Amino acid sequence: MIRGGRVKDLPGVRYHIIRGALDTAGVKDRKQGRSKYGAKRPKPGAPAAAGKGAPAKKK
């Protein structure tokens, strides 16, 4: 789905894609601003996803 809204830095770009609507994919592990990115609310008790600052686990 497309909505209007231009991007000042990009000539000719006058539209935005709505993530998570109809046939577009949402953003995985999104916590804040979920509505704009089609991310569902995480269920309570679900394991927390590793954030940007979390160290990666080694095998």
46-55 confidence digits (pLDDT tens): 666 555 555 5
Which pLDDT value is given to residue 48? 60
Residue 18 CA to residue 8 CA, distance in Å, equals 18
- Neighbour-count burial of 18, counting CB atoms closer than 10 A to its CB (0-12 exposed, 13-18 middle, 19+ buried): middle
Which pLDDT value is given to residue 19? 73
2-59 confidence digits (pLDDT tens): 777 777 888 888 887 777 677 777 667 766 766 766 777 778 876 665 555 555 566 6
Which pLDDT value is given to residue 9? 85
Q: Does the predicted model carry a pTM greater than 0.85?
A: no
Tell me the residue type at 49.
A
Residue 43 CA to residue 59 CA, distance in Å, equals 28
